[in-house]
Amino acid sequence: MSVQPIDPKKPDLEESVNVAEQHAAVKNASSAAAREQQLRENGLEPVSIWIFIAVSLVAIVAGSVLFSSNNLFGYDKFVKSGYVQDDEVSSEVLVPKGDVESVYMVKGAGIYKQCMGCHQPDGKGNASYPPLAGSEYVIDSPVSVLMAVINGVDGPITVAGKNYSGQMAKQINKSTSNLELASLAYFLQNSFGNKVGKIYTPDQMEQIKILNKDRSEGYCTAAELDKYRDVQLEGDLFEPGTIINKKTGEVIAPE
């Protein structure tokens, strides 16, 4: 046997064994990797854009048919019968309301806080300040009492049989609402032992505002207030127990 010269391009025996082993190892590893890759990609293969579009269209059409019909997934299916789908009803739950007498008394008492330093918490006044308890200007008409408050009072005045001669600046400004005016009148006419009982509506206060526009600026005198004691407001009063919106004074119809 002649010794073949070593072909540098061929591996020698030892090397070719190594190459075979390594080849097998590489093959094992790469087929495992390929299997894993296969597992991971199952179900994630890209879907044809046409299939995707077709499925989307079916979903959109089916969805709009189902939800537009009241019989399948409509409003009635999910809401107890008797509930009404209506903005007005759902906002009414948030409306603060109460019977007109208590709404007026609470509001009127709030405004009276700015009067009681002079007219006293019990409304009986003192030597300098005339009483609101038993005052003919308070009891006889909402016009005389509110005109006094809106314009102020100046000059000699006889209240409940006693003479006063002082001055009261106007107590409320032009932005005072009709609801506040009606509340103040009701509070004064039904506190401190006064028991007038008439429940004037906020709308009726417009008549006082009109009267006030017609008079010239300045304090009311006793003579002017005496005329207003005879003026009664037109229109219907509130029935006792009428439920009103605490903020607007609007009547809330019974359910």
Interface ranges with ligand HEC (CB under 6 A): 111, 114-115, 117-119, 129-132, 135, 137-138, 145, 148-149, 153-155, 157, 159, 164-168, 171, 188
Closest approach, Cβ 161 to ligand HEC, in A, equals 12
- Calculate ∠ Cα 110-113-119, nearest 5°: 135
Cα 149 to Cα 184: distance, rounded to the nearest angstrom: 10
Q: Is the CB of 135 or the CB of 201 nearer to ligand HEC?
A: 135
- Specify whether the CB–CB gap between 217 and 255 falls below 8 A: no
Are 186 and 109 in contact by the 8 Å Cβ rule? The answer is no
CB of 138 to ligand HEC, least distance (A): 5
How near is the Cβ of 96 to ligand HEC at its closest, in Å? 24
Nearest to ligand HEC of 127, 253 (CB atom): 127
What b-and-e string marks burial along 160-197, b requiring 16 or more CB atoms within 10 Å of the CB? beeebeeebeebeeeebebbbbbbbbbbbbbbbebebe
Kindly tell me which of 160 and 237 has the beta carbon lying closer to ligand HEC.
160
CB 238 to ligand HEC: min, Å: 21
Q: Which is nearer to ligand HEC, 37 or 158 (CB)?
A: 158
In the complex, what is the shortest distance from the CB of residue 180 to ligand HEC, in angstroms, rounded to a whole number? 10
- CB–CB of 171/129 below 8 Å? no
Nearest to 179 by CA among 74, 230, 106, 241: 106
CB of 116 to ligand HEC, least distance (A): 8
**Minimal CB distance to ligand HEC: which residue?**
115
In terms of CB distance, is 150 or 199 closer to ligand HEC?
150
Give the number of other Cβ atoms within 10 Å of residue 159's Cβ. 21
Residues with Cβ < 8 Å from 248, sequence gap 6 or more? 179
Cα distances from 49 to residues 44, 45, 132, in angstroms, run 14, 12, 86
Work out how close the CB of 115 gets to ligand HEC at its nearest, in angstroms, rounded to a whole number: 3
Cβ atoms of 237 and 207 within 8 Å: the answer is: no
Instruction: State both tokens at 153.
Output: 């009072």
Kindly tell me which of 98 and 152 has the beta carbon lying closer to ligand HEC: 152
